[in-house]
Amino acid sequence: RDLVSLSLTGGEPLLREDLGEVAGIFSRANPNCYMSIVTNGLTPSLTRRRIEEMLAQSTNELWVNVSIDSLDDSYNDVRGIPGGENKVKQTTELLVEMARQEPRLNIGVLYTLMPENFHQALPVLEYANGLGVQYTLNVINGGDVFYQQSPDETMTWYRDHLEEILDLFEKLKSAGYNRSLTNKLLSFFPQYLEEKPNRPVQCVSGFTSAFISPFGDVYPCVPSGEAYKMGNLLESTFDEIWTSGRAREVREAVNAHECNCLLTCETTNSLKFSPSYLAERVYQRVLS
């Protein structure tokens, strides 16, 4: 099928006892793509065991992304777990040591911008830089399937503090968060906050990617609501769903800009297929 990647998320995916087996099944069918997984980083020993199992039963490159929303006691305000910031640091540093011994293993840090941890964006970036791992900033998104919430309260805070947030973005760039795709993503932030947003890039979710829920429901992307459900794997094969009339209807809705998000994985994927962005990248390379 020539898949490029498989991303496993949760909940906490490392709690699955069959995670290594899942990785092995996927690897045998798709030996040339990479896998990624997101963890809350709160279980260092379990993390080591599960990642060792995944690597042992697969041949693919593996990205492990640790969610680090704070390195001080504001972690408790975000996650409700006192002292959790120490656990996530222990897990991240353990994974970095594992990656030094395993060339297939790559480590990243995910930070999500919220009112409670605004002051931690730069410290988390500096921590990631010190470890030599990739840092990614996410903003709050919503949806009634994966997120099971509306981000209205946080969106209001974003709008009220837009100038401060844009100033923070500039500080992050100066501190090394300066990749082409992430710069473009951050530049979309003000448009994302508009009451009737004008999507800045044509979305390709549902064309080049899909999200499968724990119950087998197939959607074009993670933020999708029930209105974007294409089908269910307990009732039809993926190919039947992907080529169905219902899937075409969902893609038409995506094309019509009936939804809005600024999710890193979905938006950066769409940028890779954007003629204007690709032309901009060529122009930048010519100038350099």
Number of domains in the chain: 1
In a domain? residue 80: yes
Strands of the sheet with 231-232, listed across from one edge: 211-212, 217-219, 231-232
Residue 206 and residue 163: Cα distance in Å, rounded? 34
Mean pLDDT value across residues 68-77: 94
Residue 185, pLDDT score: 85
In a domain? residue 56: yes
Query: Does 151 have pLDDT greater than 90?
Result: no
In a domain? residue 181: no
Residue 139 and residue 3: Cα distance in Å, rounded? 27
Residue 249: which residues within 8 A CB-CB, separation 6 or more? none
Mean pLDDT value across residues 137-162: 77
Domain enclosing residue 88, as ranges: 1-139
Query: Does 38 have pLDDT greater than 80?
Result: yes
First to last CA, the chain: 37
Name the burial class of residue 41, with classes exposed (0-12), middle (13-18) and buried (19+) by CB atoms within 10 angstroms of its CB: buried
In a domain? residue 214: no
Domain CATH number, residue 76:
3.20.20.70
Mean pLDDT value across residues 31-43: 95
- 70 DSSP 8-state letter: -
What is the tens place of the pLDDT at every residue in 1-30?
578 899 998 889 999 999 999 999 999 999
In a domain? residue 288: no
Residue 203 and residue 255: Cα distance in Å, rounded? 7
Percent of the chain with pLDDT over 90: 66
In a domain? residue 55: yes
Mean pLDDT value across residues 253-271: 77
Of 168, 167, 137, 140, nearest to 155 by C-alpha is: 140
In a domain? residue 103: yes
To which residue do tokens 């979305």 refer?
Answer: 203
The confidence band for 149, taking pLDDT boundaries of 50, 70 and 90, is: low
In a domain? residue 96: yes
Residue 125, pLDDT score: 98
Between these two residues, 203 and 151, which has the higher pLDDT value?
A: 203
Residue 129, pLDDT score: 98
Work out the number of other CB atoms within 10 angstroms of the CB of residue 141.
22
